[in-house]
Amino acid sequence: MTITDFYSTPILREGARPGDIVRLRPVFVPQLAGAAGAWQIVYVSTDTRSQPIAASAIMLLPEPIAEPGSMAILLYCPPFRGLGGVCTPSQLLATGSEYDLAGIDRALARGWVVAIPDGQGLGAGTGPHTFLAARAAGAKVVLDLARAIYRASDLDLPVAPVVAWGYADGGRVVAAAGELQPWYAPEMDLRGIAAGAVVSDLAAMAPVISGGTGADLGAGLEGQGLAGLGLAGLIGLSRAYDQLPLRHVLNEDGLVAAAEARHLTGLELLQRFPQSLAHWCRQPDPWNDHWWRRVLALESLAHVKPEVPLHLYHGELDIVVPVQAGRRTLIAYRQRGAQVDWREYDADHRSTAHLAISDVLAKLTVDVTNPPRHQPTTSSAAEHTSRP
């Protein structure tokens, strides 16, 4: 089966459950010596209307697998990679062109299974990626990936607790997954979540990613402006919340730009669209539209208290996601009564992602070895996917 065939959007069978496996195939990951095996996977998830969709991911098996009691399944969510194009971890790892390897490699060295979702709309999705829609889209794709691993009988994996780790937009996704898990996937034995450079209030963050200021965003993106992320955010949220047509906020040039942007990787977006977001919009501040304000509010974090420990961290010198935004996230979760801790690093956005690896894995290891705070239920997925 060719790459195009494998990632082609499947017709899902009637009665398909979130987490059901549609396709599975072994691949070689040349950059990861600690991976005993790797599998690309297409599985069933749900969209904002609780309708079934196809999602893709990659599962990495360690050599050797950790002993019972210290074994874990790590759901690893990297930062924003793009709205389209070849930017999915499941493809980049198979071609040897993935740059975010350090945390994955260290988790494999602990004997953990590592599963990396491509994100809704990428890989097997119909695009564009639902960037910024952590609660509505990203969290479900992550939780359903854990279900798929549990059901991957061909891999003969032991039943193990689940931990989740993400950074920047990936950190928002895993934090949202922690909030949704008790009702969306109550059968899952989730033990802990680590999330770095997380902003809980998108309305406060919107001016930062819309104004075109320069920043250090990640490998290959140093010195690029962030304005392309503002356009990507409009496109991603519009894709997740289909009652938000872009024509309400974009001018004619903006609509042309959006049609191109939906097929671009993160680096291509920043290079192609250096103008401020207002350049592409009918009004100077498109986020101030009442429909968009409502969506930004829906996508804020700390709606509910997660039932597992939450480990937040941030770089004090971060100019992509200012540290004040992370501190507000910490306060919001503490006000909900969450079990949350905080670590600041004297570093910028990219450096913090690397400096935190040892600390993150140490905290998640403690979560894995501690008894679960809540016993997973045996309720079926279908009973929990209709909640708004």
Q: What is the CATH number of domain 203-297?
A: 1.10.260.130
Q: For residue 147, what pLDDT band results from cuts at 50, 70 and 90?
A: very high
Mean pLDDT of 179-191: 95
**9 or 234: which carries more pLDDT confidence?**
234
Check whether 22 has a pLDDT greater than 70.
yes
pLDDT score at 307: 95
* Whole-number pLDDT of residue 9: 81
What is residue 153's predicted lDDT score, i.e. its pLDDT? 67
Provide the percentage of residues in the chain whose pLDDT is more than 70: 92
Residue 200 confidence (pLDDT) above 70: yes
Q: What is the mean pLDDT of the chain?
A: 89
C-beta separation of 199 from 334 below 8 A? no
**Nearest Cα to Cα of residue 360 among 188, 111, 171:** 171
The total of other beta-carbon atoms located within 10 Å of residue 97's CB is: 11
Cβ neighbours of residue 33 closer than 8 Å, sequence gap 6 or more: 105
pLDDT of 222 reads 39
pLDDT score for 378: 59
Count CA atoms closer than 13 A to 29's CA, side-chain side: 29
Would you say residue 2 has pLDDT above 80?
no
Map out the domains of the chain as residue ranges: 3-200+303-383, 203-297
Q: Check pLDDT > 50 for residue 220.
A: no
SS3 73: strand
The maximal CA–CA distance of the chain, rounded, in angstroms, is: 59
Task: Check whether 382 has a pLDDT greater than 70.
Answer: no
Reported confidence tier of residue 207, pLDDT bands at 50, 70, 90: confident
Q: Who wins on pLDDT, 257 or 127?
A: 257
User: CB under 8 Å to 226, separation ≥6 — which residues?
Assistant: 208, 209, 210, 211, 212, 213, 214, 215, 217, 270, 320
Whether 209 contacts 233, CB under 8 Å: yes
pLDDT exceeds cutoff 70 at 212: no
pLDDT tens digits for 276-330? 899 999 988 888 888 889 999 999 999 999 999 999 999 999 988 999 999 999 9
Pick the CATH number of 3-200+303-383 from 3.10.180.10, 2.170.150.20, 3.40.50.10680, 3.40.50.1820: 3.40.50.1820
d(CA 357, CA 369): 18
Select the highest-mean-pLDDT range: 49-53, 66-70, 268-272: 268-272
Q: How many CB atoms lie within 10 A of CB 159?
A: 9
pLDDT at 103 over 60: yes
Examine the pLDDT at 383 and tell me if it is beyond 60. no
Q: What confidence tier does 385 reach under pLDDT thresholds 50, 70, 90?
A: very low
Q: How far apart are CA 2 and CA 144, in angstroms?
A: 25
Tokens of 100: 């975010």
The answer to whether 59 and 41 have CB atoms below 8 angstroms apart is yes
